[in-house]
A and B are shown apart, each in its own frame.
Chain A
Amino acid sequence: MNDHDPQQRRNPVWAFLSSVRLTIILLIILALASVIGTLVPQREDAVEFARRISPELFSLLSTLDIFDMYHSTWFRLLIGFLALNLTVCSIDRFPRTWKRFSALPRPDRQKPFEDLPQERSFVVRAERKSAAASVVEYLKGRYKRIRTKETESAHFIYGEKGRFSHFGVYLVHLSILIIIIGGLLGSFLGFEAYVNIAEGEKTRTVILRNTMKPLDLGFEVRCDRFFVDFYRNGAPKEYRSDLTFLLGGQEVEKASALVNHPVHFRGITFYQSSYGVIPKVRIRVSRHASQAESRIVELEQGDQVELPGGGGVFSVTRFSGNFMNRFGPAVRILVRPIKGHEIRFWVVKEMEALKKILPAPIDNFPGLDPSAFKPYTFSFMDRVKGRYYTGLQVNRDPGVPLVWAGCFLMMAGFFVTFFTSHKRIWVRVSGHDTGVRVSVAGTANKNPVGLERELDKVTREIGRLFKKG
């Protein structure tokens, strides 16, 4: 931080944005903020939670966007601020890094040899010049940018390697920016949606997850069949949807979506995400409560069926396996007469049992009365095997390739940052009464232990050079 460009030093905004203290504070704030979102239920799950808290707390939390925290403006601004900080930091430090990268120190520097441990120097019987020449030859095989210098008293040889290690950090920072850009691209140009399609049905629209609005795909997708396979212990083994894509009514492509094996069509990806069975029931509709004028109808949830004798239609809008958690299976019937208001009521399968529980005759409970629509009486006979529907997650995310590129770059950056270091080595071959003294010294920008190991090795190998000759 000492060798700041004076022009930059004067700018307090730049100084603030380029400080690593800010980075650390931002990282910790981001970490703490992320904790909130894991404790407070998000998005769809928030509804249940919101019912249990006081209205004041609810309005406070929803003002702060806590229920969809990770997509809130303030959280995005925080990430943006971190991105800005790491960009400024990188720009601010780059000139110095470049200097360290390109600097070529003098071969005859004395400083590295100060306090040299004894084992890093030894005496050999050789002539100085030829000794220096063989050291140069050896270093050329292991190091780059070899420089030599000859003085009256000694020969100096300098070599280095791994100077690209200074740029590892920049690769990591760049990769984070790329991942953030990829994420932004996905959230602005992509979408996340879902759709349920019954076997044999097709659809052109899907429901967006964030707004719950329909989205036109521009083509149709049909679910030909849905399969579910179970293990012997009852756990699910495989879900599969056989899909057909249609353009203008023409079948274009067929594919199967499995969990972990999504299907891609025209830049949109379809993921197998859930499934279910469309409720299908048998209903007896009788007029004047007489068996004679009754009809048994088999219908799926959503089907509209004409009332016997005309006068309107009815449908099953919901099915409950255990109505109000105590009355057993039930269906909700919707009757739309040609004249008059539509009417909704539940029909319980075990009507006799219900009548015993109720404190008053059933006509006092219009929502539970099977004869609420006069003069008809509905009874729920049984549930029959219905069709499957498949639940598909439908996404488009043009940011994904960038995110993967960023991840790849990050790993490369980590490798350079953690496992390479810029090692500089100086060897001094000095005149001596009984021969020449060879001394080995070095510096590294990181990993001092690795440097020691390297220097040990180089000293040993140079020593061996002279033993042979």
Chain B
Amino acid sequence: MLHSIILSYVTFVYFGAFLLYLIMMVMGRAVFGRLATCVAGGGFLIQTWAIITRWMTSYKMGIGHAPFSNLYESLIFFAWALMLLYLIVEWRTKNRTMGVFVTPLAFLALAYASFSPNISNQIQPLIPALKSNWLIAHVITCFFGYAAFGLSFGLSLMYLIKRVGTGSERNIFLRLIPETGILDILNYQMIAIGFLMLTLGIITGSVWAHSAWGSYWSWDPKETWSLITWLIYASVLHSRMVRGWKGKRIAILCIIGFSCVLFTYFGVNYLAGLHSYAKS
């Protein structure tokens, strides 16, 4: 289908944006940064168009539903949410250095969706359990949460790189990365957004599970791993807000938190559970 082909091309657009951000960081020339933003923004618009087209196509096929129903569609949406959030942060902070760390995540998600032999890009009809208005709310909140944690992961990497490299002022790459204090504040904001969205995602999921499976909490592996992720970020927030932890320790905890997010998203598929439709 046309939109799937276009989505697979967007993969390369994001890779191009990544290269341009990288060239900007290595050569220190702002013009590449502006170009990178244009490419990333263009890719984002094309992706938005493709998602809407896929949505409309499903209605033409008579099995209309929002494109959030399987692994392929969720990966596409994850990349989309990540890019949207990144472009907003870039615009608000007027700083492009984060692009080097975030565009690869979007690129990898799209590449996995488009080129993995195990993932079907067909539009499939909704099975009875997924036929619920909660599907849209649940998927949107969860994936914006994942996207915010993805940005927090990128910021944590930046923080650690900047910390390790303090002193080598001549390195353009390191010099371009914002001050650690700013990274820390931005990281906190991303954790706050991610935590709020993850909580909303868990709550909407519970409300939905209550009507579909008969229980708002069944300790299904995906549920449990989302709770584990929630607990990790809750401890990050407590150590920062109450105990005043800053910087390196928070950055490391955020990287652990994001690996929990990845396990909640992908790793759980290797465990048996109720969320089986998110596997392929």
Q: Is the CB of B227 within 8 A of A395?
A: no
> Interface centre among A21, A24, A446, by most B CB within 10 Å?
A24
Q: Is the CB of A192 within 8 A of B214?
A: yes
> Interface centre among B124, B128, B200, B224, by most A CB within 10 Å?
B128
Q: Is the CB of A404 within 8 A of B207?
A: yes
* Interface 0/1 of B200-219, CB less than 8 Å to A: 10010011101111111101
- Considering the complex, give the chain B residue whose CB is closest to the CB of A38: B221
- Considering the complex, give the chain B residue whose CB is closest to the CB of A410: B199
Closest Cβ–Cβ distance, residue B201 to chain A (whole Å): 12
> Interface centre among B200, B219, B239, by most A CB within 10 Å?
B219
Residues of chain B in range 179-223 having any CB-CB distance to chain A below 8 Å: 185, 192-193, 195-196, 199-200, 203, 206-208, 210-217, 219, 221
Bound-state Cα–Cα, A38 to B275, Å = 13
Q: Is the CB of A236 within 8 A of B238?
A: no
Q: Does B105 contact A (CB under 8 A)?
A: no
Known contacts A41-B272, A407-B206; decide if A414 and B196 are in contact (CB<8 Å): yes
Q: Is the CB of A237 within 8 A of B235?
A: no
Bound-state Cα–Cα, A397 to B238, Å = 32
Closest Cβ–Cβ distance, residue B91 to chain A (whole Å): 15
Known contacts A31-B228, A34-B228, A448-B185; decide if A238 and B128 are in contact (CB<8 Å): yes
Chain A residues with CB under 8 Å of B227's CB are 31, 34
Chain A residues with CB under 8 Å of B234's CB are 27
Q: Does B242 contact A (CB under 8 A)?
A: yes
Q: Is the CB of A271 within 8 A of B213?
A: yes
- Considering the complex, give the chain B residue whose CB is closest to the CB of A258: B128
Chain B residues with CB under 8 Å of A39's CB are 271
Bound-state Cα–Cα, A226 to B63, Å = 23
Known contacts A34-B224, A235-B125; decide if A27 and B238 are in contact (CB<8 Å): yes
Q: Is the CB of A236 within 8 A of B212?
A: no
The number of inter-chain residue pairs (CB within 8 angstroms) is 113
Q: Is the CB of A239 within 8 A of B271?
A: no
> Interface centre among A31, A261, A262, by most B CB within 10 Å?
A31
Q: Does B243 contact A (CB under 8 A)?
A: yes
Bound-state Cα–Cα, A262 to B216, Å = 13
Interface band, chain B: 35 or more
Q: Does B232 contact A (CB under 8 A)?
A: yes
Q: Does B127 contact A (CB under 8 A)?
A: yes
Residues of chain A in range 385-415 having any CB-CB distance to chain B below 8 Å: 393, 395, 397, 400, 403-404, 407, 410-411, 414
Residues of chain B in range 33-66 having any CB-CB distance to chain A below 8 Å: 63
Known contacts A27-B235, A28-B232; decide if A260 and B211 are in contact (CB<8 Å): yes
Q: Is the CB of B271 within 8 A of A395?
A: no
Bound-state Cα–Cα, A106 to B239, Å = 32
Q: Does B29 contact A (CB under 8 A)?
A: no
Bound-state Cα–Cα, A361 to B225, Å = 56
Q: Does A449 contact B (CB under 8 A)?
A: yes
Residues of chain B in range 50-85 having any CB-CB distance to chain A below 8 Å: 63
- Considering the complex, give the chain A residue whose CB is closest to the CB of B125: A231
Q: Is the CB of B185 within 8 A of A449?
A: yes
Chain A residues with CB under 8 Å of B271's CB are 38-39
Residues of chain A in range 431-451 having any CB-CB distance to chain B below 8 Å: 446, 448-449
Closest Cβ–Cβ distance, residue B60 to chain A (whole Å): 15
Chain B residues with CB under 8 Å of A70's CB are 219, 224
Q: Does B26 contact A (CB under 8 A)?
A: no
Bound-state Cα–Cα, A447 to B207, Å = 32
Q: Does A148 contact B (CB under 8 A)?
A: no
Q: Is the CB of A31 within 8 A of B243?
A: no
Q: Does B231 contact A (CB under 8 A)?
A: yes
Bound-state Cα–Cα, A237 to B242, Å = 50
Residue from A27, A28, A261, A411 within 8 A of B203 (CB atoms):
A411
Residue from B128, B206, B207, B211 within 8 A of A237 (CB atoms):
B128
Residues of chain B in range 108-145 having any CB-CB distance to chain A below 8 Å: 124-125, 127-129, 131-132
Chain B residues with CB under 8 Å of A20's CB are 238-239, 242-243
Q: Does B102 contact A (CB under 8 A)?
A: no
* Interface 0/1 of B269-280, CB less than 8 Å to A: 001100000000
Q: Does A183 contact B (CB under 8 A)?
A: yes
Q: Does B268 contact A (CB under 8 A)?
A: yes
Bound-state Cα–Cα, A84 to B268, Å = 31
Residues of chain B in range 224-275 having any CB-CB distance to chain A below 8 Å: 224-225, 227-228, 231-232, 234-235, 238-239, 241-243, 268, 271-272
Q: Is the CB of B219 within 8 A of A37?
A: yes
Bound-state Cα–Cα, A388 to B92, Å = 60
Q: Is the CB of B221 within 8 A of A183?
A: no
Q: Is the CB of B268 within 8 A of A31?
A: no
Bound-state Cα–Cα, A394 to B79, Å = 40
Known contacts A20-B243, A41-B272, A404-B207; decide if A31 and B199 are in contact (CB<8 Å): no
Bound-state Cα–Cα, A31 to B229, Å = 8
- Considering the complex, give the chain A residue whose CB is closest to the CB of B243: A20
Q: Is the CB of B232 within 8 A of A31?
A: yes
Chain B residues with CB under 8 Å of A236's CB are 127-128
Q: Does A233 contact B (CB under 8 A)?
A: yes
Residue from A31, A238, A258, A395 within 8 A of B231 (CB atoms):
A31
Q: Does A42 contact B (CB under 8 A)?
A: yes
Q: Is the CB of B124 within 8 A of A192?
A: no
- Considering the complex, give the chain A residue whose CB is closest to the CB of B182: A449
Bound-state Cα–Cα, A24 to B235, Å = 5
Q: Is the CB of A38 within 8 A of B224?
A: yes
Chain B residues with CB under 8 Å of A400's CB are 210, 216
Bound-state Cα–Cα, A27 to B237, Å = 11
Chain A residues with CB under 8 Å of B129's CB are 259-260
Chain A residues with CB under 8 Å of B241's CB are 446
Closest Cβ–Cβ distance, residue A309 to chain B (whole Å): 49
Task: Show 15 residue pairs from A and B whose CB-CB distance is below 8 angstroms, ordered by the A residue.
Answer: A31-B235, A38-B224, A41-B272, A42-B219, A45-B272, A231-B125, A236-B127, A238-B131, A239-B128, A259-B128, A260-B131, A395-B215, A400-B210, A404-B207, A411-B199
Query: What residues make up the interface of B, taking CB atoms closer than 8 Å to A?
Result: 63, 124-125, 127-129, 131-132, 185, 192-193, 195-196, 199-200, 203, 206-208, 210-217, 219, 221, 224-225, 227-228, 231-232, 234-235, 238-239, 241-243, 268, 271-272
Q: Which 7 A-B pairs have the closest CB atoms?
A: A259-B128, A271-B214, A393-B214, A31-B231, A27-B235, A38-B221, A20-B242
